[in-house]
Amino acid sequence: MNAAVFLWGFTGVLGRAITLDSVWLVWYRLLITVVTLWIIYAALKRIKKLPLKSIIYIGTIGTVQAFHWVCFYGSIKYANVTIALTCLSTSALLSSVIEPLILKKRFDPFEIILGLFAIAGIVIIYNTHVQFSIGIIVGLVAALLTVIVSVLNKKIIDSYEAQQITLYQLTGGFVGLTILLPVCNYLIPPVHQYPTSLDWVWLLALSWICTIFTFFLYILSLKKISAFTMNLTLTLEPVYGIILAFIIFKENRYLSNWFYLGFALIAIAVVFHMLRLLKPFRSR
């Protein structure tokens, strides 16, 4: 599980290393991933037909997932890996507000307080790193989209196998992004649209290692560890990614002490949020 989370954290580093614009980066990532998955599933005879309505619904969620990736890598391009992952770490707190709205559940007042801590952290980072303002805004949109994907997946996770959801969701994301490519290119004219030779190396690593291989590690780990351990380990993804960004790109040179104060507020809120979520598992 730690290996899977570490590799997920590495996606931010690869996103900065690849020279493509964020939209095309995600398009090529999905192209490689989807083609590879269909070949693997066909060879293993694990492709199961689903009703057209289900395919459209799952594919639509995949399109939202694709644009989450577009915004995440866009945040990296406009700011850096550290800023993008810091914004993404607020997703657990955003879910405490968005999930009750979509699933019609009661709001938890304590979760709202934790959300205010996270907001305070983001405001401090935003006001003290104005040069990264666009990256912060795009990063928060990425966090919002991943929460929407997570909530929508909760509605279908018990109806289909995880492997089938992954296959049709990623395929739907690729198809949806392809259809919307002309709109994306019109709104944000691409500067780097075609991969360089080195880009292809990083794209293959991103698709095969950080997406497909990591997914299989994740599925295998679920058979061996508890939900408590899984959720606790997932909180380490931004930590791994930020440490890698500090080591590889020396991004800490571009951050003031105010960033660490803002990040600390977000981290405190996330830790308390996870402790509350995992309390039932600890008691069992």
Averaged pLDDT for residues 248-261:
94
pLDDT in tens, 11-59: 999 999 999 999 999 999 999 999 999 999 999 998 988 999 999 999 9
pTM higher than 0.95: no
Q: What is the pLDDT of residue 156?
A: 85
pLDDT band at 227 (very low <50, low <70, confident <90, very high): low
Range of 171's domain? Answer: 2-283
Q: In this model, does residue 271 exceed pLDDT 90?
A: no
Tell me the H-state helices in the chain: 2-17, 22-44, 52-78, 81-88, 91-103, 109-128, 133-154, 162-187, 197-204, 214-222, 227-234, 237-249, 257-283
Q: How many domains does the chain have?
A: 1
Q: What is the mean pLDDT of the chain?
A: 89
Q: For 9-13, 106-110, 133-137, 222-226, which range has the lowest pLDDT when averaged over its residues? A: 222-226
**Per-residue CA distances from 97 to 87, 93, 133, 154 (Å):** 16, 7, 24, 15
Q: Are 279 and 240 in contact (CB under 8 A)?
A: no
pLDDT in tens, 61-115: 999 999 999 999 999 999 999 999 999 988 877 877 787 777 677 777 887 888 8
The helix/strand/coil state of 153 is helix
**Per-residue CA distances from 196 to 16, 207, 243 (Å):** 14, 16, 27
Q: Which residue has the higher pLDDT, 156 or 234?
A: 156
Q: What is the pLDDT of residue 282?
A: 61
- Look-up: residue for tokens 């698709």? 207
Q: Which residue has the higher pLDDT, 188 or 168?
A: 168
Q: What is the pLDDT of residue 202?
A: 97
Q: In this model, does residue 135 exceed pLDDT 70?
A: yes
pLDDT above 90 coverage of the chain, percent: 60
Averaged pLDDT for residues 254-274:
90
Residues 238, 234: Cα–Cα separation, whole Å: 9
Q: In this model, does residue 232 exceed pLDDT 70?
A: no
